[in-house]
Structure 1
Amino acid sequence: MLRSYIRLAMFALGLLVAVQVPGFIHDYQLRVDAHRVEAGKALDGFRETATRFFDGDLNALLAHYRGSADPVFQRDADSVEVLIRRAKLFDTEWKVLQAPWYARAWHILLRPNNELLQETLDKYDYRLTLTPESIAWGLCGGLLAAWTGEMLLLLAGALAGLGGYRRAARRHWG
């Protein structure tokens, strides 16, 4: 009986944790998109200048700034370079997040942008959104947690010599 309650508690815990995954992924995507748009807006003036004088090539504009004898332009080159790198970074991250749900989850689990991940964690509020996706995540997480808990209990019982396997097998199989 205790094992049943532990299994049920493990299922509930897994369900509550896993149901958060789609909401967290969505918040991360929103954060990436917001930073991508903001980085693009920060570059708009430089893009306009690059279009006017360098056929739209921001790297040529950057090289021009770096090659200038004016120390102000040389100093601004560092700022422009940072803006270009951040815009590319957020654009790449946004493109990765246009993949199917499992690829997005895998990316955020293994290779997220650490700055954006930390921002998302800091601002994330735990909520229960009952969409088909979150229900599926919750059920899978609950079943996985219940199964893992069951296997750990059986293993611990077997190592401690408490396994009543034969008795249970006779009860279930005749």
Structure 2
Amino acid sequence: MFRSYLRLLLFTFGLLVGVQVPGLINAYGQRVEAHLLESREGLKGFNQTAQRFFNGDLQALVKHYRASDDPVFNSDANSIESLQIRNALFEHEWAMLQGSWATRTWHVLVAADPALREETLKGYSYQILLAPEAVAWGLGCAMLLALLVESALLLIGWVILGGRRKPVAPSWR
């Protein structure tokens, strides 16, 4: 009986962990989108200046600022490059989140920007979504976790017992 409850507890834990995956991916996507919009807004004025004087070439604007002897312009060149690098990061992250569910999941769980992932995890509030993908993730994780843990325990028991079962005590009949 204890073993049945343990299986049920393990399955429930896997289910609760699994339903978090779509919510986490959604939260990461929202965070990336917000940062992307912010970085685009930060570059907007410089892009307008580059459009007006350098045919839209932001790098030419940076070179022009760097060629100046004025330390303020040199500082602005560094600021523009920093904004460009940050914007490129968010553009890349956003592009990765536009793929299939498998691509998004793999990217967020394995290949996401560590700072953005950490920021998302710190701000993430656990939730139970009843969307079809959350239910599918929950059941999938629950089955996988239950299968892996029970298989590992059975393998350990098999190794300890030397691959054989304990003999059954003779019946009183």
Q: Output the TM-score relative to the length of structure 2.
A: 0.91
Instruction: Specify whether residues 19 and 162 from structure 1 end up closer, same or farther in structure 2 by C-alpha distance, changes over 3 A only.
Output: farther
- Partner of residue 12, structure 2: 12
What residue is the counterpart of 2:171 in the other structure?
Answer: none
1:86 Cα deviation after fit: 0.6
- 2:110 is matched with 110
Inter-CA distance 54–5: structure 2 relative to 1 (3 Å threshold):
same
Residue 7 of structure 1 contacts residue 149 of structure 1 at CA under 8 Å; is this kept in 2?
no
Q: Deviations over 1:53-75 (max 9, x none)?
A: 11111111111111112111011
Distance in structure 2 (CA, Å) of the matches to 1:90 and 1:66: 25
1:81 Cα deviation (Å)? 0.5
Q: Match of 2:75?
A: 75
Aligned to 1:65: 65
Shift of 1:8: 1.6
Number of equivalences: 167
Structure 2 residue matching 1:135: 3-state secondary structure: helix
Q: Which residue of 2 aligns with 1:157?
A: 157
Q: What does residue 47 of structure 1 align with?
A: 47
Alpha carbons of structure 1 residues 12 and 164: separation in structure 2 relative to 1, 3 Å: farther
Separation (CA, whole Å) in 1 of partners of 2:127 and 2:72: 49
1:171 corresponds in structure 2 to none
8 A Cα contact 1:68 1:74, kept in partner: yes
Q: Which shifted more, 23-32 or 61-70?
A: 61-70
Q: Which runs of 4+ in 1 moved over 3 A?
A: 162-167
Using the TM superposition, give the Cα deviation of residue 135 of structure 1 relative to its aligned residue in structure 2, in angstroms. Answer: 0.2
Counterpart AA for 1:133 = E
**Is the 1:62–1:81 Cα contact (8 Å) retained in structure 2?**
yes
Structure 2 match to 1:172: none
Give the Cα–Cα distance (whole angstroms) in 2 for the partners of residues 42 and 156 of structure 1.
Answer: 58
Alignment correspondent of 2:122: 122
TM superposition shift of 1:10: 1.3
Aligned counterpart, 2:101: 101
Report the identity percentage. Answer: 49
Instruction: Give the TM-score of the pair, scaled to structure 1.
Output: 0.91
Task: Report the alpha carbon displacement of residue 162 of structure 1 after superposing the two structures with TM.
Answer: 8.1
